[in-house]
Structure 1
Amino acid sequence: MPRIAGQIDETKTEAILDAALALFSEKGSLTSMDAIARRAGVSRQTLYNRFPSKVEIGRALAARRSDAISAPLRTGGDPETVLTAMAAGMLEKLLAKTAGSSMRGVALLSPTDPELAGAIYQAGPAEGLRRLSAWLTEQDGKGLLGVPDPDAAAEMFAGMVLGHGHLRGVLGIEHPAFDVESRAAEAARRFLRAFAV
């Protein structure tokens, strides 16, 4: 089916983001826009129409990841179900085959391209924390949890779930074997116990 004039071909956008993710992981800030366009199989014009800079690409990559991880917060489920699902999503992303190389890529580019690293952090991990903090504020307002400092609690939850996972990922060290679902459920239960009303 032909596209309507002005309609964005989302498959090209996804191809660009996938190519950029792979190249950032391989080359860090040395990745060029031309290389991204070539790897994605799109023209330079198509690339620049969607993303005028590497910063915008990094922001979009991080936002895509943050949207996926924070999706359970939008379900309206009970706190334990929501937090267990979010924890499982965080752990699955952490254990994905490309996760370690992605983390190393961002770490490598941060000294040479702090604007890009900052954009990735703000649109990804920081946005995820903001969304979790807002959700915790709602739960506190409903009387389901007692969360005096939602920002700190959001960071605590992420730390409980991920532990040293990010450090192992950046260093390229294999994660110990564990069951994602049981780890996620345990983290959610322990967190909820700490903030029970």
Structure 2
Amino acid sequence: MTDQASQESQASQESKDSKEYVFDPTWDQETERLRANEAIWDPGTIERLERLGVAPGWHALEVGAGSGSIAGWLGERVGPTGGVLAADLETGRLEALRAPHVEVARIDIRTEELPAESFDLVHSRMVVQHLEDRPAAVANMVRALKPGGWLFLEDTDSLPLFRSATSEDFLQDVRAAGYGLMRRSGHEPRGGHFDLEAMLATELEEVSAEGRAV
């Protein structure tokens, strides 16, 4: 049984970092990894997007669009009167996306400013926790929101991982090795907590957080 937890935060309202992203976007199995993540996380993501009320006419930004599953869903949801900008450092996997009303762009939110006050929704999943300057990335996304828009961030929180009913030492060596390597690449294992902290530091209102395990 896999026990993973994510903490999500939502609120109303070709240079590289000094550290490399832990998952090489050119890795020959990266597409398979991204699609596996979509299979795991898409149902919960979509349920929360529906709860936010994504509707026809909305303009949405998907930061770190991966293989495009959520960008495609958003494109169908916002309809011909809306639009979706699917942004990623590696856009090759998005070129086959035949979703309506979706534009693909290569954008590095670490170094490029997003269009100001342009989106009703900005969504990012499993991205912010990998960035060295997380508050700056969150502030960049906040600036891209229209007044009254929503920022929806999803990142993992590794604290509940590798525990069993009989022991909290379950696979601790595996956890230490794996997350030690990821930390050296800039990954923050408590990403969900840091998302919330960064959002509370902005002018956003109605900030909240919740978690789910799959």
Scaled to the shorter chain, the TM-score interval is under 0.3
Higher relative contact order (CA 8 A, sep 6+): 2
TM-score by length of 1: 0.28
TM-score by length of 2: 0.26
Higher share of residues assigned helix: 1
Higher share of residues assigned strand: 2
Larger gyration radius, structure 1 or structure 2: 1
